[in-house]
Structure 1
Amino acid sequence: MRVVLHVGLPKTGTTYLQSLMATHRDALRAGGVLHPFLRPGAMFHAAVELRGSAAKFGLADSDVAGTWAALCERARAHDGPVLLGHEVLAGATPEQVAAILAPLADVEVDVVVTARDLGRQATAHWQEEVKLGDTRSFAAFEAGELRADSGRDAGPEAGGVRPHYWHAQDWSWALQRWSTAVPASRVHLVVCPGPGREPAELWRRFAAAARIDPGLVDADTVAPANPSLGRSEVALLRAVNAELVEGRAGRLDRDAYLRVVKREYAEGELAARGSEGTVGAASDRPRAPYRLADVLGDATDRWLAELAASDHPVRGDLAELRPVLGGPDGPDPDAPVPPGQDPARIAAGLVARAAAGAAAGPEDARRPRRGGLFRRRLRG
């Protein structure tokens, strides 16, 4: 019996891997590998419980209490490999890491950290914030986060700041923090495949780190989640968000926004238009500008040097961690709202759609609530 704990990082194919394991839970079990099911959203609840962040996600402590203990009990009852994890765990402090592993003190644990190059992560992180209601341009995101890092040890009490992007994407720091309770030789780095590689390669690398047969699942049966938008689509969504923030088109609560704006409009309609080339084609997807080569490249160099001096096993090609950037004359991630699009009218239509859905009964009433965080983002 052993546990493989996948801790993220965010935006490194975590949703794809989680969906793949959940879809093939029975096939994994037939092959001797357990991906335990407790209830929908249980691993997210466990991660929130372990990080002490229930209120941040709009949850009560009673919603999540005991979830991790129950999952560990399921794991300990299995005679073979157990797959657990959620990207919320990536930011765990050394004290939290010790508490997380306490119920598994006499169990062999492997920790898997997935990482992707900082160039693609920059635009993916920014775009995800916009999908959650942010109105910032990439230029504002660059100034406020990408160029505002004071380092790992510079907290507010020292006058420093560690922006969310760097806290979330510092894969070397994550390896070090998890190695405070697990030998470095069992804290694995899995490199996300570079541009143009098939998603199934990520599964194969993860399975190699987990020491399980990758053939237990058909990695092509689950499509990558969180479809990327083009530059013009992000610009349109930012403008729609601005209308909603100002309340000119009416207001949406968190659940309505996530259902109607994020999932149906952004990840549904806008993503489909982009793939058809009617708003922004795949070739128009934002790329981190060339001017960030020093910031992102220097951080990557430091982290690779730290990795070279460690005992962490690596799956994948470390060259794929070099930042993927646009060319010197490439388009900026920020673009104007595409012609013929009226953000005010679109926002009003989305508010009306949400109201109609509420009258008929919410489709996602059983989804975990994260209202507090979302409302703070919209107000900000």
Structure 2
Amino acid sequence: MRVVVHVGLTKTGTTHLQGLLAAHAPALLGAGVLYPTQPPGLHFRGAVDVRGSAGVFGLTPEEVDGAWQRLCAQAREHVETTGGDAVIGHEVLAGATPEQADRALRALEGLEVHVVVTARDLGRQAVAHWQERVKLGETRSFTDFEREELFGDSGRDRGPDAGGVRPRFWHGQDFADTLRRWTFALPPERGHLVVCPAPGAPGEELWHRFAEAAGLPEDLVDATADVRANSSLGAAEVALLREVNRRLGDSMPTDVRHRVVKREYAEGELAARDSLPARTPATAAGLLADRSHAWLEEVVAAGHVVHGAVDDLEPVVAGPGDPAPDTDPPADLDPEQVVAMLRTRAEGGSAQTTARRPRWWRRG
């Protein structure tokens, strides 16, 4: 009676894996594995419930209260009545405090719980982290992000051993610390680190590594299926979004901004444009590699299980021809016109927006 809790990290293929699990939920259930899909969005709301962060995501407390308990109740009922396994989780869980993780796992007490953390090289993660903050409304350049979070204001390393308040990037990407927070009450072999494949690997490789960690039958899922993924923006599109954010200011409520600017425009339209992605400058490669190596040593020493090639954690940084993160917006998009269009959409009301949502929106 095993429950697999996938806690992220963010930007490590989590959305793609969730899409595969949801699309193949009937086939998995036929093999004895439950991936809850009803009601829609329960995994996300459950994770927000654990974190107590409804306002951050533009939700009301009433929309998330008790969601984690309901998700765990579905998992418990399945494994106790059928003897099968269940998979639950969302990347929002990765930032949970030790106290939040402890309360979350108490809802699964008495079951065999396994925790899976997915991790990707810090070169791609640095740009992805900065980009996600821009999607949420920040206007900060990558140069400022690099100075303030990667190296610190004075140019010194403000990584996890530098003391003081830990910058958001290091807290969010430390896979060793995430496993420690989520497995402190579990046998070490129930903690799993899945290494995301390096660029150029077969598209289905991430699924194979995750399935191995979660103990899932790999052949029941078509890992090449076209499911939703949290696609990255090109460097020029991030520049446009920063300018749009600057002009919008705080004029939109959080829930409206998430819906109209982040989900519909950034992830729905800008991500579909054919544009070169930014790469982290090579000057950060040494710091990022040192951190990855230290975290990996900690994971191995703790007795957790590693799935995938550890060399895939070597940071991917900029090479000749890669655009700098801080560049100009696309010439064919006028920020002022984009802002006007977004304001019109925001004023259009929730009914029109709901009608435009694609099918994946309704998935759990």
TM over 0.5: yes
Q: Equivalent residue of 1:339, what SS? A: coil
Aligned twin of 1:322 = 314
Extract unaligned runs of 5+ from structure 2: 358-364
Among residues 186, 195, 198, which one is paired with 2:190 in the alignment? 186
Aligned twin of 2:349 = 358
Aligned twin of 1:373 = none
Q: Is the 8 A contact 1:259 1:364 kept in 2?
A: no
Q: Equivalent residue of 1:220, what SS? A: coil
Q: Is the 8 A contact 1:32 1:80 kept in 2?
A: yes
Aligned twin of 2:57 = 57
Q: Is the 8 A contact 1:112 1:189 kept in 2?
A: yes
Instruction: Give the residue type in structure 2 aligned to 1:298.
Output: D
Q: Is the 8 A contact 1:91 1:168 kept in 2?
A: yes
Kindly provide the CA deviation profile for residues 261-301 of structure 1, in whole angstroms up to 9, marking residues without a partner as x.
32333223323332xxxxx3xxx210110011122122112
Q: Equivalent residue of 2:269, what SS? A: helix
Kindly provide the CA deviation profile for residues 47-79 of structure 1, in whole angstroms up to 9, marking residues without a partner as x.
122223234334343332322222222222222
Aligned twin of 1:133 = 137
In structure 2, how many angstroms separate the alpha carbons of the residues matched to 1:93 and 1:74?
Answer: 24
Q: Equivalent residue of 2:267, what SS? A: helix
Q: Equivalent residue of 2:262, what SS? A: helix
Instruction: Give the residue type in structure 1 aligned to 2:266.
Output: A
Aligned residues: 349
Q: 1:25 to 1:332 in 2, by over 3 A?
A: same
Q: 1:290 to 1:74 in 2, by over 3 A?
A: same
Instruction: Give the residue type in structure 2 aligned to 1:358.
Output: G
Among residues 100, 103, 107, which one is paired with 2:104 in the alignment? 100
Deviation at 1:361? 4.0
Show the 5 A alignment for 1:25-104: 25-78=25-78, 79-104=83-108
Q: CA RMSD in A?
A: 2.4
Q: 1:305 to 1:328 in 2, by over 3 A?
A: farther
Among residues 277, 295, 303, which one is paired with 1:311 in the alignment? 303
Instruction: Give the residue type in structure 2 aligned to 1:326.
Output: A
Aligned twin of 1:209 = 213
Moved more, 15-24 or 66-75: 66-75
Instruction: Tell me if 1:162 matches 2:166.
Output: yes
Q: Is the 8 A contact 1:150 1:161 kept in 2?
A: no
Instruction: Tell me if 1:244 matches 2:248.
Output: yes
Deviation at 1:331? 3.8
In structure 2, how many angstroms separate the alpha carbons of the residues matched to 1:359 and 1:98?
Answer: 37
Aligned twin of 2:23 = 23
Q: 1:74 to 1:260 in 2, by over 3 A?
A: closer
In structure 2, how many angstroms separate the alpha carbons of the residues matched to 1:258 and 1:97?
Answer: 26
Q: Is the 8 A contact 1:152 1:162 kept in 2?
A: yes
In structure 1, how many angstroms separate the alpha carbons of the residues matched to 2:284 and 2:60?
Answer: 40
Q: Equivalent residue of 2:325, what SS? A: coil
In structure 2, how many angstroms separate the alpha carbons of the residues matched to 1:93 and 1:151?
Answer: 18
Aligned twin of 2:237 = 233
In structure 1, how many angstroms separate the alpha carbons of the residues matched to 2:356 and 2:220?
Answer: 34
In structure 2, how many angstroms separate the alpha carbons of the residues matched to 1:234 and 1:352?
Answer: 21
In structure 2, how many angstroms separate the alpha carbons of the residues matched to 1:59 and 1:229?
Answer: 25
Aligned twin of 1:348 = 340
In structure 2, how many angstroms separate the alpha carbons of the residues matched to 1:139 and 1:332?
Answer: 10
Kindly provide the CA deviation profile for residues 212-260 of structure 1, in whole angstroms up to 9, marking residues without a partner as x.
1111121211345122222112112211222212x8xxx4333433333
Instruction: Give the residue type in structure 2 aligned to 1:73.
Output: A
Aligned twin of 2:223 = 219
Q: 1:298 to 1:224 in 2, by over 3 A?
A: farther
Aligned twin of 2:360 = none
In structure 2, how many angstroms separate the alpha carbons of the residues matched to 1:59 and 1:16?
Answer: 23
Moved more, 43-52 or 189-198: 43-52
Deviation at 1:92? 2.1
Aligned twin of 1:372 = none
Aligned twin of 2:362 = none
Deviation at 1:210? 1.0
Instruction: Give the residue type in structure 1 aligned to 2:308.
Output: G
In structure 2, how many angstroms separate the alpha carbons of the residues matched to 1:42 and 1:223?
Answer: 18
Over the matched positions of the two proteins, sequence identity in percent amounts to 54
Q: 1:153 to 1:119 in 2, by over 3 A?
A: closer
Q: Is the 8 A contact 2:36 2:74 kept in 1?
A: yes
Q: Is the 8 A contact 1:54 1:60 kept in 2?
A: yes
Aligned twin of 1:377 = none
In structure 2, how many angstroms separate the alpha carbons of the residues matched to 1:303 and 1:6?
Answer: 19
